[in-house]
Chains A and B, each alone.
Chain A
């Protein structure tokens, strides 16, 4: 069943410029105090991986209802992931660098 989802997901997310290596995993890179994606749409149950490629620490979170979450502080080189089990949409930010913002929709 899941296998059928892969190509569907890949085309769907392709527009947002993201990579779907496996069903339901998407990577967002943090580099130069920016997120690699400005907007991303994922499916319920998908996982987002935040990968810190900066020489700076980041602290990713969202206060938007539905997708609210907090990651622990990410030192340079560290990755953190978070699974979205509910539908919703909102803004993801970095607490340290407020200019780092991206929109997320979980469908």
Chain B
């Protein structure tokens, strides 16, 4: 086991002497510096072990993976005919080219209605039990019928949707293939879309190559940022694990009027509390926060550095002035950007059209 001297053993022994010196310089001494609410600081090699990617995607026992469901779910996700106006697809607000977000502070839905919150990424939600910013829905399965029926999001009543899909031969076939027993039903729309969404896992980023041992995969600044993220800046108190979320709910001192999770769980600690979001692909999901109020990542880190904007009982103790220097803020931003996987074009599915020989 590595202590705090900067000497490396075991699987890290292969790292070059140059890297060794750098690790020693970046690794924080485990002594005095840790903040009141922190465990003693560890070394960079020890922190790296907390961020290994999983190898399997979890599916619910009630809704197991099949390629037919995934293919159908992808078609439905990109199909604007799921909305009352036939103009709003799930993908209107969750665009693959923007890491499944939409680039605006508040999404635009059915008939131009402005949503009350910012559209979050759909990456890595297979590992999430409480979905939505306030965790009001359960699993991905629980967050499909809501947006379709909500008049301000897609505004499509279930019976109309079933009738519309039933009139399209390509959908009749795709539902039959995915759900031989009961074909086109609202529950099966939900199941197919959720199976498709579970497959949305953020790609391997430079950060992952570094975790695997390629010291050149990220910059020295990003490595310093990673260390700050885990120590002085205390980000990992909430953004923990490979997807950088503890799936928990906190008030981080934003100043809008949205009361968040207290509407779901009436405990004072849930006032203005929202779910810790993943930081994977974070460079591509601006603007940030449930209200889309922070324009870029430097401003996000500055928000935390000043201990948030609002003082109230519910604000987490982990949100307090951090005394980060300008250079340290830059390092954290470089680290965050190392979580973006290289851009890859996303193939949009071809959608089934009307029956041309229908009477």
Contacts and interface: CB of A to CB of B under 8 A. Distances in A.
Interface stretch (B19-27, B211-219, B264-272): B264-272
A55 B38 CA distance: 5
Interface in B211-251: 237, 246-250
Contacts of B317: 57, 75
Contacts of B38: 55
B267 A55 contact: no
Given A75-B317, A98-B129, A99-B129, A57 B269 contact: yes
B37 interface: yes
Nearest to B37: A55
Give the size range of A's interface with the partner: 10 to 19
Contacts of B278: none
Interface in A62-107: 70, 73, 75-76, 95-99
Contacts of A33: 246, 248
A19 interface: no
A40 B265 CA distance: 24
Nearest to B38: A55
B40 to A, nearest CB: 10
Which of A33, A56, A57, A75 has most B Cβ within 10 Å? A56
B357 interface: no
Interface in A36-56: 55-56
Contact of B267 (A56, A75, A95, A99): A95
B243 to A, nearest CB: 14
Contacts of B237: 55-56
A73 B247 CA distance: 19
B109 interface: no
Nearest to A97: B248
B269 A98 contact: no
A55 B248 CA distance: 15
Contact of A70 (B37, B39, B267): B267
Contact of A99 (B247, B261, B265, B268): B247
Contacts of B129: 98-99
A61 B38 CA distance: 24
Given A33-B248, A75-B317, A98 B130 contact: yes
A61 B265 CA distance: 10
A56 B37 contact: yes
Contacts of A97: 246-248
A98 B249 contact: yes
Nearest to B265: A95
Interface string B127-168: 001100001000000000000000000000000000000000
State the 7 A-B residue pairs at the shortest beta-carbon distance, nearest first: A59-B269, A97-B248, A95-B267, A55-B37, A73-B269, A95-B265, A55-B39
Given A55-B39, A96-B270, 16 more contacts: A33-B248, A56-B237, A57-B316, A61-B267, A73-B268, A76-B37, A95-B249, A95-B261, A95-B267, A96-B248, A96-B250, A97-B246, A97-B247, A98-B130, A98-B247, A98-B248
15 contacts: A33-B248, A55-B37, A55-B38, A55-B237, A56-B37, A57-B316, A59-B269, A73-B268, A73-B269, A76-B37, A95-B249, A95-B267, A96-B249, A98-B249, A99-B246
Interface of B: 37-39, 129-130, 135, 237, 246-250, 261, 265, 267-270, 273, 316-318
